[in-house]
Structure formats: structure tokens, C-alpha cells
Amino acid sequence: MTKLVSYQAKEKYAVISIDNGKANAISHEVLDQLNLCLDKAEKEQKVVVLTGKAGIFSAGYDLSVMKQSMEAAMELVEKGSTLSRRLLSFPTPIVAACPGHAVAKGAFLLLSADYRIGVEGEFKIGLNEVAIGMTMHNAGVELARNRLAPVYFNRSVINAEIFNPDGALEAGFIDLVVKPKKFEKIVEKVANAMASLDMRAHRQTKLKAREEFLSLLDKCIELDKTSSL
């Protein structure tokens, strides 16, 4: 099995990195390996830093799968939505370290994390589904509605507007934009700060705060099984 996702254990957190080609595409294999790494982090009770590689977090789902058939596309989207749902209810904090571009499912992964750090540069962040001929799936619509600033919801979902890091910060895709040379240091600082939280209180508060949203996501994931993209 080709290793597309790596797991690096630090003292107080774990770094889970995606490395799948130029676009860092989200495939079935990537999703399976992400879940295995999350299993390990959960077992070790570590804060998770989810990241990509230099210049790119992820450009979205594997297009070779999405173009196979409607059934193949829906299966991959369901699997991806289920991962987002897992991240949103994960027992320890999820820090998304976005080293560059984050488009489509890459941007949805940002919306699934507890804290998101971006880097300055000529990078694109946003939801391009409508621009490339895809009807936004129900789980995606609600994920965007719940996490984006309200004034940016229509611009992002219906108009497929793509933002630079500063615009993505204002829209709600990320929480902090830093200079490239400070990126790794700031990610480490945030991860260690998250690790100082009381994990029981974090988990219970997260589940309480997102109870209605998680229930809605469950319904949307089921609905998307019979919806066209």
C-alpha cells in the first residue's frame, strides 16, 4: 500500500500529513489512511495537527474518481463528509495547518477543524464546486453555513468565490494568517496551547456546542446518498 498520509508523534500532539501528488488529492486511499492515523491519535489522546505539504493543503477530491460515474463520485463524497463529521466531534482538538492552497474538499477540511492556521502568499482558498459544474452536496452546504461568516456564505457556496489567505481569514475558512518563515513555529505554539486544555471538558463542550449541527450533518450525509451532484 502506497503511503499517502504520514503520522508523526510529538510530545503533546501528533502531526498527520497528506502527500498525494501535485494536488494532494483526497482519494479513497487518503481517506482510509487519514482515519487510521486519527485512530492512532485518539488512542494516544493527542491533539491533532492536520496538514499537507509545501504550497498546498489539498485541492479537493481525486478527479479520476469523481469523473468515473455519479455513483463513484457520491461514494467518495459520502466518505469525505463522514470524515468531516468525525473531525468536528473528535475527542481532542484538531488544528488545521494550511501551508498553501485549499480548494473544494481541502477547504471543507479547514471548515471541519477546531483551529485553522494559514500562510501568507499567492494561494487560493475556497469552494469551487459550482464553478466546475458540481451541485454542492447537502453536507457541504450545511458545513459552510455553520462555519463561514454569514455575509460570505452565498459568495462562497453559490458564487464559488475563491479567496487569498487574508480573504479566507475574513470569510471564516481560517483563523490566523502568518508569514511563511513563522508558520511551523506558530503551528507548534498553537498545538501545544491546545494540549494544555482539559481534554474531557473540551470534548464535552465541543459535543454540546455542536449537538444540533452534528445531528443535521448526519441527516445530510444520508440525504446525499440519493442526491445528484
| Grid cell in block for residue 18 | 497528506
Q: What tens digit of pLDDT does each residue of 147-164 get?
A: 999 999 999 999 999 999
- For the chain, domains (ranges, CATH) are 5-183+194-224 (3.90.226.10)
> What is the reported pLDDT for 229?
66
Q: What tens digit of pLDDT does each residue of 42-94 get?
A: 999 999 999 999 999 999 999 898 888 888 889 999 999 999 999 999 999 99
Q: What is the mean pLDDT of residues 5-25?
A: 97
